[in-house]
Structure 1
């Protein structure tokens, strides 16, 4: 953690933003919801901007930008989130979150790789060990674990 410093204007003490949790690389399939999340500590409050490659992302229905104070942390920090409501292969690239205040700035970057929907489902989204990939849990993959391929109300006819 950085020590407090006096601003050039002499108005207050504060710190340069520091990421306490950086962005993680994500693999997804076309049409999938993607969530980038990071945590940043800063005094005083900061401005947060998101970028894809060098283009700034503005909050919209397709790209939701969210911020909230993390109350469970011993160190006061903000959770900064970018939600891509429906990812497409052309969304692939480097995403960056930049946090800045009067004392300085910090950035965290990660790569998003979006494959076409026809790719093998198991290669899509990163999942925690021991959990189903998100594509399977959302039913986007035909015949995922525990699925029979039979719609409710249908019956399976076994060859005699």
Structure 2
């Protein structure tokens, strides 16, 4: 009988047990990091103990695009690392402690050839922290930030614009909110869409409506509406189009 760390081993694809007269062998065809431990051969009232130490391979782990992930509470969070070999055994740490996926229903670990993915299906603020992927002798770390949702707010409102006929004009508003709000633009309550003379620009939290070649019929009140699952906010301003004498 063979035991590992005090637990009896059963014959499987992972463990091959053979006997040849007085020689008993335990063979591990493909050793994993988790195979490290104390092995005991028991024969009647006699036993023999040996320790297996497994040294990790020099597996190359890709660098992530960013080491920081920010999600809104209850959103999904995904960590991905790619290694340079197929069938690499990896494991994950949270704040230095190994994640036991059988005990964590919200945590899933999947491998697709060289890609290793950790998914938290629904995040809570207590999930924030340092997540480390370990493969062979190497490791790579990312940080998870979990924030409370915020309804949209207009940080900087649109300003009224006066422009000569035939010129272009811009309306801009600075918007905040979590998740990031979706912004739509209106002319006198009529929804605007992108066209050859109407462009929507977006740089960080600043949203801009660009109107090319405005004419007197374009004079109106223009509005932007920022909306997410937790609320909405609106900013409006008039456009005055002057005709040269």
Q: TM-score, normalised by structure 2?
A: 0.40
- Separation in 2, partners of 1:35, 1:111: 12
> What 5-or-longer segments of structure 1 have no aligned partner?
70-77, 119-160
Q: Displacement, 1:6?
A: 7.8
Count of aligned pairs? 104
Q: What does 1:1-160 align with in structure 2 at a 5 Å threshold?
A: 13-69=148-204, 78-118=205-245
Q: Secondary structure of 2:149's partner?
A: strand
Change (3 A) 1:11 1:90: farther
Change (3 A) 1:11 1:48: farther
Aligned residue for 1:121?
A: none
Q: Which runs of 4+ in 1 moved over 4 A?
A: none
- Separation in 2, partners of 1:104, 1:6: 16
Matched-pair contact (CA < 8 Å) for 1:31–1:117: no
Q: C-alpha root-mean-square deviation of aligned residues, in Å?
A: 2.0
> Which structure has the larger Rg?
2
Q: TM-score, normalised by structure 1?
A: 0.60
Q: Which has the higher contact order (CA 8 A, sep 6+)?
A: 1
Deviations 1:58-78 (A, max 9, x none): 011201011121xxxxxxxx1
Higher strand share: 2
Q: Displacement, 1:28?
A: 0.8
